[in-house]
Structure 1
Amino acid sequence: MRLHRNPVKDPQRELYIYRVRMLLAVVLVVLLTGLLGARLYYLQVVQHEVYSTRSDKNRVRVEPLPPSRGLIYDRNGELLAENLPTYNLMLVRERVDNLDETLGLLVDLLALPEDEVESLRARSRQRQRSYQPALLINDLSESQIALLAVNRYRLPGVEVEAQFLRHYPDSEIMSHVLGYVGRINTQELERIDSGNYAGTHYIGKTGVELSYEDELHGKAGIRKVEANARGRVLRELEREDSVSGKDLKLSIDKPLQQLAFDLLDGRRGAIVAIDPRNGQILALASVPGFDTNQFVTGINVKDYRALQQDVDLPLFNRAIRGSYPAGSTIKPFMLIAGLASGVITPETTIYDPGYYQLPNDDRRYRNWLRWGHGRVDMERSLAVSNNTYYYSLAHDVGIDRISEHLSKFGFGQRNAADVAGEGSALLPSREWKRQRFNQSWYPGETLSVGIGQGYLQVTPLQLATATAVLANRGHWVKPRLALEIGGDPLPEVLPETLDDITLPNDEWWDRVFSGMKKVLSGREGTARRSGVGLEYAMAGKSGTAQVFSLGQNERYNASQIRERLRDHALFMAFAPVDEPKIAVSVIVENAGGGSSHAAGLARAMSDFWLLERNAGGQPAGSQAEKDPDAEAAALSEGAL
């Protein structure tokens, strides 16, 4: 048997191997230690600011402090828009683990109706800044607050927050003047300063609330608070207070506005009253109105659809956007155009056989009085509202000069300084028709414009503004709603006010006013019944605007026409004539003759303003012309 001998150990080699292994181990340890140190240095030094901020976010959070919205008052200091305390349900998405589960729990706890569930989910997903609360439900009841408090541990990221809610004490009569605030939508989020609106969930949507949104909103503040792991605030670390919005004082007179609504008595229409001395809008009534408080908290689908489908269009602001044929209310302005153009003088007369014919044209453009008024001068043409006089005048002046002169009174354009949504209506011209229809202008269309029909359209605000300029003998005042912002009065002269209107002879204004006074106080005046007992001199003009055109030989019979196709009733007036303090325009849709259905409303507005609101009794220098036979005189229902 052969034996194997163990090789002899080599101590030197083993020692070498051991040293190499030890060296590698030391290098590895040093390398790992270096990497650990470098990582610690990176985290503690290089990224100190980042991780310090992240750490603070776990215990310190920044909360917005929304500003209190400015209040709105009428000219006498009566509150029109206020802020009432309320409790809202808020959601911070970043603190919610399962959004759908949380929303489902809220729906069950609060027993929300089906039509509110979808809007709740939409609000919860509306784009917001990080950690900014989203408004889910506003104006919570006490029972809802109690339920949420008991189940708070089940609703991380859901909080009940106390805020102020906009409220309109006289929402219906002021609906179209003030407008309303509503929840900020996605489109508005893209254009507003998100930092300044942090914590704010409402923004002006229409009316004064929209026009003066920047002033009414104010400036948002912030506060830094320390919170525990459950989100409960432990202490306040830093605070920058919000700046409340500025209070707004309007020129609107609440009692006069209420009177306008009462006078219309639910009939579709509008009444606008302006102070000619300064352009202050005293009343801006559009009937029917609506409850603006519904829109603040979010109107439900059923109620909103009912407003939209209402045939009386309560959401439509007739006072500033309604476009109506001017009817015979345009005639005083046509006289100014004729006098300024040199086409007529105050002594110009025509003979009216009951119609007017263009040269070489067999068609007869009829006066409202079929057998005519005979010899008619300028003042009588206003008193009896003779159409034939204005057919002749319009033909001689021509559409180009008519458009030029009527535009100086503000027709066909937006004139007010701060009325959101104001319409421009339509002042036709030769160029307009060519661009709109690619057609030539016809002489017969000029005649229609001359009596306020055809393409010519005006808004009640435009008509009141033009009446104020007329009362001022051509001096322009820009209509305005705001008197003071934050206690500071607005400047008397506003920018972009139109130039004053001048006539070759200043006495011609008096001659036009004389004819307008006879409308109310003259023996033949179309509105003489409304002028009975006047305690001041009032100048006015009635108008009856056709809704559809009659054939040449057809006669208007209201009883045979559907109610919404009947004529509109209009009236414009100012008083006292010597020192005008109020200019009024009235439109009552489908009511019939302006003399019988609109003149009395303008008279009532003037009486209230001059004899009651301005408690001085009969204004100085305002003795009216008295017609002893006026009270007994029969009013011509068809008078324009």
Structure 2
Amino acid sequence: MSEGKEKRFTRYTALIVIMLIIFASISARLFVLQILDGPVYKEKSNNKSIIEIPDAAPRGKILDKNGSVLASNDQTYILVYNQTDESDKYFFDTMSKVFDLLDKNGETQKDDFELKLNPFSFQFRGDDEETKRTLEIKFKTDRGLAYEIKKNLYKGKKGELTKAEKAKIDEELLKITPEETFKKLVKQYEIDDKKYSIDQQRRFMIIKDTLKMNSFSGYKPVIVANNIKKETAFKFFELLNEFHGIYVTTQPMRTYPNGEVASSILGYVSKIGSNNDKYTEKDYDVNTDCIGKSGIEAAFEDRLKGSKGGKIAKLNKQGRILEELGKRDPYPGQTVQLTIDKDVQAATEKALDDRMKYLREHPNAQEGSNTSNATRGAAVAIDVNTGAVIALASRPGFDPNAFAAPGGLSSELYKKYYPDINEFGREYIQRMGLMSYFSEQSEDDVLNKLFPIDKSVKGKTVRQDIHDVCPKPLFNYATQSRVPPGSTFKPMTAIAGLESKVITPDFGVDDQGFYDIGGGNIIPFKLDGANRWVDLTRAIERSSNPYFMEVGKLLRKYFDDDQLAKYAWKFGLGADPKSNVKPATGIEISEAFGQVFNSWSQKNQYAQTYLWKAMQELKCGEDDKGRKFTSIDLYDRSGDSDKVKNLKSDIKKQIQSAIKDGDKAFNKENYKSLINRLIQLDTEYNGKEISEKEINSIINYIYYRTVSDAYSQTKVGAPLYFASIGQGMDEFTPVQLANYIATIANGGTRYSVHLVDKFLDADGKLIEQVKPEVIGKTGVSAENIEAVKAGMAAVNERGTASQVFNGFSIKTAGKTGTASLNDQETFGRTDFAVYVGFAPLQNPKIAVCVMIFDGGQGAGSAYAARDIYEAYFNKLNNSSTVVSKANENN
């Protein structure tokens, strides 16, 4: 019994000891906090805090080949707001005074807030409507609007939402109008809509919204205004005590001293604007940092961006910096020196603008053409011996300063750079007089036909520019537009014919102004007329279609449909789709590489286009000959089960296989089985009796469309004949065409096209020199190259471009091209005017391609090429004179 008492006493004693230790520890900690560290915490109670303030690095410069600055940075004064508990109390009073002072001094508030007034609208920077839709959803989601919808639609739901449920939320988000969004944010940011005007509300909202977005990645100051004048900055310095949370500092801002010049090459920088892990991992602040969005700025973002700095600072309760505790200096990015010449580039852009202006002012000067909409064009000039780009222009251009400078993208510029297709479409229909092509139809009917509503963009009504008639300043027509080359392709056909030995330079054809492509189809060439007897030189000079279609026929007769393509690929006009070759010219900025006609691509193209046609006719239950059959729907529908989706997919794959391979890929029993299962499982056919006879009629239609029609089209020669004159499936970018001509000019060596000459560090010291890269040797004989050059020389001397180059001081060679679209007049289009050439004729230095959309006949674009030659050789001669004089003085 005494042992039990002893045990209980020991436990109790231990508990008392533990409690005494705990209370002693607490007392000691309180002594430290209240007595020893009291002054420190008293200071913190006065709302002083320690923060890190980022210091942006200057982006590396972009220079032309001669060292002229194309993109640089200006050190500018910026007005910043630091949020603290104390500055928050006076936010509206402080900001009202700040805005007044900014207005009095002619300054503008930093405004890249996408929600605009007058009228209420969103202005998201996207090249397509789907991108804008995504940005709108994200904008509203980040600001809590999606949470409200989720709470209403799926209240009490546990776990992750399904894909369909998320899509429903997105759909509901898009229904919230800009005005409704504005009112919700006014309420969310506690802005007094009775006390302040709507414009004042939005100004407060910009700051409040930036604070909210910044909070996702920790504390950061908000830039209220940047690029303010020195005088304004000093006034704010004098009055800082009146402005809680406001201070003035400096920051580099991207500038482009030449405005629009070389915008198609340089691209532009803009705020990242989204929570993108790719950039977060690279130490970017996705809410405030800018990145290259296109062109050289985007292609070499990692080299240009530099290393940001920052400082650790102590703030007082007004949000003002009291003391700098530490600092890390920013380091500028690398300098990128390009191969282009600024003056030749500017002359190239002017040449295009001047020619397009002339064409618009004289819309009916050319027979069979209406050039009223000659608003888009491209020109490329390449050094034939290195592949270096001398000039690359895309028109219309844009001013990259509008994106770099805060508030630079005004509402007017936004409409210009991101055109509203609905608004443009109505104006275009009236301006081009297109109502006359659609009798007894309303303007809305014509609008829906020419600019149909994009049904893939759910929740919004947006239109598509399916005929590519609207000028798009941010689209690079030189590198991203794949266009039929027209007759500029004929020198390529000549090379294939000569190298394949199906013709010689003396081979002749009686050009009677038409060509029989077989099957009773005779193609007339009314504009060209009959050239009578032509050999190779005269065929190129006069641009004889029958001559080159005959060459295509001979290539097919003695080889196959791909003989022309095999030679075109050597010159960079496409690439073998069955090879591992990356289809590219080598140019550093984004490009859309075009392809020459070839049997593999043709079959795949037909497989897609004829599938669409088959699906449409199957849904209608009637073919193009008026034959009727039972309707069947192969379109994917949102309510389809997985089994139904798979069945539809299997039927479509069967259809495509038959289009490619004909009878050997057509299995009637397979179709019968698949269609029967689809009818059983797809709820669309519930209650419908579809007999075996009806199913057979469906299968018979599929056979007709796939084997009798589509597959048989892959076996005729017409597509190759049209490809031989640069029509049909042939589509290339101006960069591809310029490099193909450069390859002819230098005797058959294809260089990688490049814009960058070298990389330098911030002190101008060389980091890397870019050397010319040979992609391949064509192996074409010198004799055959010279035979083609002779024909191209004749074009400029006495052929289709002779009027343009008559009296020109330098002997040149070239080829005009006029490429058409089917039924182009009904949607306001006319021919592409294309010219390619090189100069001088002997010892060539420069190759060019000029392309004007809706420019009419190809010879018209040669005027711009002549202006490019003048600018280039004048600059070259002046440089040579300077060098010669320098040598004489030495």
TM-score, normalised to structure 2's length? 0.58
Q: Are 1:314 and 2:473 an aligned pair?
A: yes
Higher relative contact order (CA 8 A, sep 6+): 2
Structure-2 change in CA distance of 1:125 and 1:227 (3 Å): closer
Question: Is the aligned partner of 1:289 residue 2:565?
Answer: no
Deviation at residue 388 of structure 1 after TM alignment: 0.4
**Structure 1, 55-64 or 299-308: larger mean CA deviation:** 55-64
Q: Distance in 2 between matches of 1:447 and 1:43?
A: 97
Name whichever of 538-547 and 187-196 sits farther off: 187-196
1:395 alignment partner, SS class: helix
Instruction: Decide which moves more: 113-122 or 407-416.
Output: 113-122
Match of 1:123 among 202, 210, 215: 210
Displacement of 1:160 in angstroms is 3.4
Distance 2:31 2:599 in 1: 77
Q: Give the superposition deviation at 1:326.
A: 0.5
Equivalent position SS for 2:479 = helix
Kindly indicate whether the alpha-carbon contact (under 8 Å) linking 2:804 and 2:862 is maintained by their aligned counterparts in 1. yes
Partner residue of 1:587 out of 844, 848, 851: 851
Which residue of structure 2 lines up, in the alignment, with residue 519 of structure 1?
Answer: 795
Deviation at 1:521, TM superposition (A): 1.3
- SS of aligned partner of 2:327: strand
Check if 1:576 corresponds to 2:686: no
- SS of 1:172's equivalent? coil
Query: Which has the larger displacement, 234-243 or 266-275?
Result: 234-243
Instruction: Assess, with a 3 A threshold, how the Cα gap between structure 1 residues 533 and 59 changes in structure 2: closer, same or farther.
Output: same
Q: Contact 2:537/2:790 (CA < 8 Å) preserved in 1?
A: yes
Unaligned segments of structure 1, at least 5 residues:
1-23, 45-51, 551-560, 619-640
The verdict on how the C-alpha distance between 1:342 and 1:98 changes in structure 2, with shifts beyond 3 A counting, is: farther
1:502 aligns with 2:779: yes
Matching residue of 1:409? 571
Partner of 1:608: 871
What amino acid sits opposite 2:56 in the alignment? P
Please say if 1:75 is aligned against 2:65: yes
Q: Deviation digits for residues 204-226 of structure 1, max 9, x if unmatched?
A: 11111111111111112343345
Q: Give the drift of 1:585.
A: 0.5
Q: Residue 227 of structure 1 contacts residue 235 of structure 1 at CA under 8 Å; is this kept in 2?
A: yes
Query: What corresponds to 1:213 in structure 2?
Result: 301
Structure 1 residue 312: deviation in Å?
2.7
Amino acid at match of 1:430: S
- Structure 2 distance, partners of 1:90, 1:289, is 33
Shift of 1:430: 2.3
Contact 1:476 1:499 in 2 (8 A): yes
CA change 1:616–1:533 in 2 (3 A) is: farther
1:260–1:308 Cα change, 3 Å: same
TM-superposed CA distance for 1:328, in Å, is: 0.5
Q: 2:250 aligns with which of 159, 162, 180?
A: 162
Q: SS at the partner of 2:833?
A: strand
Q: Which residue of 2 aligns with 1:344?
A: 503
Report the AA paired with residue 491 of structure 2: P
C-alpha distance after superposition, 1:79-99 (max 9, x if no partner): 111211223344556x45787
Q: Which residue of 1 aligns with 2:75?
A: 85
Structure 1 residues 327, 475: CA separation in 2 closer, same or farther (over 3 Å shift)?
same
Equivalent position of 1:132 in the other structure: 220
Distance 1:305 1:40, change over 3 A: farther
Match of 1:483 among 739, 743, 757: 757
Structure 1 distance, partners of 2:757, 2:89, is: 50
Shift of 1:611: 4.0
The answer on whether the counterparts of 1:175 and 1:292 sit within 8 Å (CA) in structure 2 is yes
- Cα distance 1:121–1:324, how it changes in 2: closer, same or farther (>3 A)? farther
Residue 327 (structure 2) aligns with: 239
Distance (whole Å) between structure 2 residues aligned to residue 356 and residue 571 of structure 1: 24
Spell out, residue by residue over 1:558-617, the C-alpha distance to the aligned partner (whole angstroms, 9 max, x if none): xxx68942222111001123322111101122222212x112221221233124433378
Distance 1:129 1:472 in 2: 55
Please name the residue that 1:12 is paired with. none
CA contact (8 A) 2:62 2:71 kept: yes
Native 8 Å contact 1:391 1:450 kept in 2: yes
Shift of 1:426: 3.9
* Counterpart position of 2:806: 532
- Contact conserved, 1:225 with 1:238, CA < 8 A, in 2? yes
Amino acid corresponding to residue 417 of structure 2 in structure 1: L
Mapped to 2, the partners of 1:379 and 1:316 lie a distance apart of: 38
Alignment deviations for residues 441-466 of structure 1 (CA, whole Å, 9 cap, x no partner): 24222222111112222211111111
**Matched residue SS, 1:314:** coil
Gaps of 5+ in 2: 1-11, 33-39, 101-108, 110-198, 357-375, 425-469, 576-582, 608-709, 882-890
Contact 2:244 2:319 in 1 (8 A): no
Q: What residue number does 1:274 align with? A: 382
- The one of 728, 734, 745 aligned to 1:471: 745
Secondary structure of the 2:750 match is: coil
- How far apart are 1:151 and its partner, in Å? 6.2
1:351 aligned counterpart, secondary structure: strand
Larger Rg: 1
Partner residue, 2:260: 172
Pair 1:254–1:340, CA change in 2 (3 A)? same
Q: Offset at 1:253?
A: 0.9
- Cα 1:108–1:224 change in 2 (3 A) is closer
Task: Report the 3-state secondary structure (helix = DSSP H, G, I; strand = E; otherwise coil) of the residue aligned with 2:847.
Answer: strand
Question: Which of 604, 625, 631 lines up with 1:435 in the alignment?
Answer: 604
Measured in 1, the distance between the counterparts of 2:503 and 2:93 equals 78
How far does residue 394 in structure 1 lie from its aligned partner after superposition? 1.7
* 1:421–1:362 distance in 2 versus 1, CA, 3 Å: same
Q: Secondary structure at the match of 2:562?
A: helix
1:566 maps to: 830
- CA distance in 2 between counterparts of 1:448 and 1:39 reads 95
1:273, 1:283 within 8 Å by CA — same for their partners in 2?
Answer: yes
**1:143: Cα distance to partner?**
4.8
Query: What corresponds to 2:272 in structure 1?
Result: 184
Rounded to whole Å, the distance in 1 between the matches of 2:92 and 2:271 is 20
User: What secondary structure, in the 3-state scheme, does the structure 1 residue paired with 2:591 have?
Assistant: coil
Q: Report deviation, 1:244.
A: 1.0
Q: Which amino acid aligns with 2:271?
A: R
Q: Is the 8 A contact 1:368 1:387 kept in 2?
A: no
Displacement of 1:339 in angstroms is 2.3
State the 1:281 CA deviation: 0.8
Q: CA offset at residue 548 of structure 1?
A: 3.4
Give the conservation status (yes or no) of the 8 Å contact 1:319–1:461.
Answer: yes
Change (3 A) 1:28 1:58: farther
Q: Residue 448 of structure 1 aligns to which amino acid in structure 2?
A: F
Kept in 2, the 8 Å contact 1:226–1:233? The answer is: yes
Cα deviations by residue, 1:351-396 (Å, 9 ceiling, x for unpaired): 222222134x221123456652222111111011110011111222
Distance 1:29 1:484 in 2: 76
The 8 Å contact of residues 96 and 102 in structure 1, kept in 2 or not, is answered as no
Displacement of 1:189: 5.8
**1:362 maps onto 2:520 in alignment:** yes
Matched, 1:333 2:492: yes
Alignment-derived partner of residue 393 in structure 1: 551
- Contact 1:216/1:245, CA 8 A, preserved across alignment: yes
- Are the equivalent residues in 2 in contact too, given 1:415–1:479 (CA < 8 A)? no
Total equivalences in the alignment = 570
**Which one-letter code corresponds to 1:389 in the other structure?**
Y
Please say if residues 60 and 224 of structure 1, whose CA atoms lie closer than 8 Å, have aligned partners that are also in contact. yes
**Separation in 1, partners of 2:299, 2:292:** 8
Instruction: Say if 1:103 and 1:121, in contact at 8 Å, map to a contact too.
Output: no
Aligned to 1:445: 719
Match of 2:350 in 1: 262
459-468 vs 260-269, greater mean Cα deviation = 260-269
Alpha-carbon offset, residue 315 of structure 1: 2.4
Q: Give the CA deviation at 1:119.
A: 4.8
State the Cα distance separating 1:294 from its structure 2 match: 1.2
Change (3 A) 1:83 1:543: same
**Which of 230, 249, 258 is the aligned partner of 2:337?**
249
Q: Distance in 1 between matches of 2:785 and 2:841?
A: 11
